[in-house]
Amino acid sequence: KMIIALNMFYMSILIYIKKYNIIYNITNRKNIINNMGPLNMDILSIIYGSLLGDGYGEKRKGGKGTRITIQQEYCNSDYLYYLHNLFANLGYCNTNLPTIKMRLGKKGKIRQYLKFNTWTYESFNFIFYEWYIKNTKGSGYIKVIPKSLELYLTPLALATNTPPMRGGGVGGISPCKGEKTFEL
């Protein structure tokens, strides 16, 4: 059974490589060339859409930069691989494929998900400070809806938060049992 699972895993990687062609082989940040200049509006929209969902920003130790983690439930794996391909080809993250991770969900249910991190950029700091405020009752930060959301809430940002699903959902969209509620 393990051999069959490994073969299926390798086949899915080959399909991914053919479907979402990584045009660079960048596994080390020193190889990138886009670390200066303004951020691409599409990338900003995807980041904002991801932060509305399971994505999160992380202020790095030393405070010089922020990295963004883009995360999706496993049922959205194809979509996450597409986003990874986009970020990798634009030089915002390494080209290593995201791997399946597991966590314990509500009522002890095992949840599978995929995630990848961008590299740390000082140009992501403004995103972090718009989405997070200092926790006054403890340490760390609390995620909030930013006032600038209307600038970046594009159709692409909304599509990032509600990727197309296989069956079962209303109108072809299903949140993969990861619904979110926002209070404004």
The per-residue pLDDT for 162 is: 60
Is residue 7 over pLDDT 80? no
Placement of tokens 């972090």 in the chain: 128
The better pLDDT of the pair 33, 152 is held by 152
Chain center to CA of 51: 8
> Which band of pLDDT confidence, cut at 50, 70 and 90, is reported for residue 32?
low
181 domain-assigned: no
Is residue 31 over pLDDT 70? no
The per-residue pLDDT for 25 is: 60
24 domain-assigned: yes
174 domain-assigned: no
Specify which residues 129 forms β-bridges with. none
The per-residue pLDDT for 67 is: 94
180 domain-assigned: no
177 domain-assigned: no
Domain count, the chain: 1
The per-residue pLDDT for 158 is: 80
The per-residue pLDDT for 145 is: 93
CATH number for the domain spanning 138: value is 3.10.28.10
61 domain-assigned: yes
Packing angle, helices 41-52 and 77-89, rounded to 10: 150
Tens-place pLDDT, residues 37-90: 567 788 898 899 899 988 999 998 877 889 999 998 888 788 888 889 888 888
The per-residue pLDDT for 102 is: 92
Q: Give the residue numbers spanning the domain of 136.
A: 2-161
Please answer whether residues 26 and 32 qualify as being in contact, where contact means their C-beta atoms are separated by less than 8 angstroms: yes
- The overall average pLDDT reported for the chain is 76
Tens-place pLDDT, residues 123-171: 899 999 999 999 999 888 999 999 999 888 888 788 776 654 444 444 4
124: which 2 tokens? 């992501």
The per-residue pLDDT for 12 is: 53
Mean pLDDT, to the nearest integer, of 106-132? Answer: 92
Q: CA torsion sign, 177 to 178 to 183 to 184? A: negative
Q: How far apart are CA 64 and CA 29, in angstroms?
A: 15
170 domain-assigned: no
133 domain-assigned: yes
The per-residue pLDDT for 99 is: 87
